[in-house]
Amino acid sequence: MINKDCERIVVSEKEIAEAVERIGKQINTDYAGEEITFISILNGSYPFTADILRKIDLDCTVDFMQVSSYGSGTGSSGTLNIKRDISADIRGKHVILLEDILDTGFTLSNLVKYLAEKGPADIKICTFIDKPARRREEISADYYGFLFDEDLFLVGYGLDYNQKYRNLPYVAVLKPEIYTKTTD
Ligand code: PRP
């Protein structure tokens, strides 16, 4: 049953599981014999992080960052605010950033620049959803689950609207009346 505030499911639980399996296999192949430091970008990436990590059969660690580039609505401020930094030393490490969505690219391009100064061996980007048509910074995903060219307001599997709907096990399009609703 779809959540009452959503109009349609665009990525089902089964499709999510298949994408996670595919990405996990690819990472295991690409990094064979290496150790990986995953950095999960909270909040939205937590389900994707948990699912991807369980597909990795290489030595790996996971650390967490919390950053923001959005207000509580649908616009992008384009400013990176680091609310929680990593605690691990990533010097000389193979880093993979785990994100729920790559949209304008402001968040990840600022983040990659910031983390690059800590001296990792390399930094790759793994995003569950990629919206290349929305890009305003030159940055691309090394691994992605699903591409969306249409600018739909997506929620579920970590993606929120005003912190809600992250718990949905699928990705759905939010009904416009939910995010255009006024309080007066
Ligand atoms: C989302 C997402 C990325 C960012 C992508 O985070 O998790 O970090 O926006 O957008 P961009 O490519 O336009 O910069 P958000 O600030 O909504 O926080 P959340 O993960 O806590 O939902």
Q: Which atom of ligand 1 is nearest to the CA of 100?
A: 7
**pLDDT < 50 stretches in the chain:** 71-73, 75-77
* Predicted local confidence at residue 69, as pLDDT: 67
**Closest residue (by CA) to atom 2 of ligand 1?**
101
Counting ligand 1 atoms within 8 A of each CB, the residue from 40, 42, 45, 68 with the most, and so the one to mutate, is 68
Tokens of 161: 């609207």
Torsion of CA 124, 130, 135, 141, to 10 degrees: 20
How far does residue 104's CA lie from ligand 1's centre (Å)?
A: 9
* Predicted local confidence at residue 139, as pLDDT: 95
* Predicted local confidence at residue 72, as pLDDT: 41
* Predicted local confidence at residue 71, as pLDDT: 41
Within 10 angstroms of residue 161's Cβ, the number of other Cβ atoms is 17
* Predicted local confidence at residue 78, as pLDDT: 56
* Predicted local confidence at residue 181, as pLDDT: 75
Q: Where are the alpha helices (DSSP H) in 41-181?
A: 46-53, 106-116, 176-179
* Predicted local confidence at residue 183, as pLDDT: 61
Residue 175, Cβ density class (10 Å: 0-12 exposed, 13-18 middle, ≥19 buried):
middle
Residue 76, Cβ density class (10 Å: 0-12 exposed, 13-18 middle, ≥19 buried):
middle
Q: Which atom of ligand 1 is nearest to the CA of 166?
A: 22
Distance from C-alpha of 103 to C-alpha of 105, rounded to nearest angstrom: 5
Please give the positions annotated as active site.
103
How far does residue 66's CA lie from ligand 1's centre (Å)?
A: 10
Would the CB of 99 count as within 6 Å of ligand 1? yes
Is residue 130 within 8 A of residue 141, CB to CB? The reply is: yes
Is residue 67 within 8 A of residue 107, CB to CB? The reply is: yes
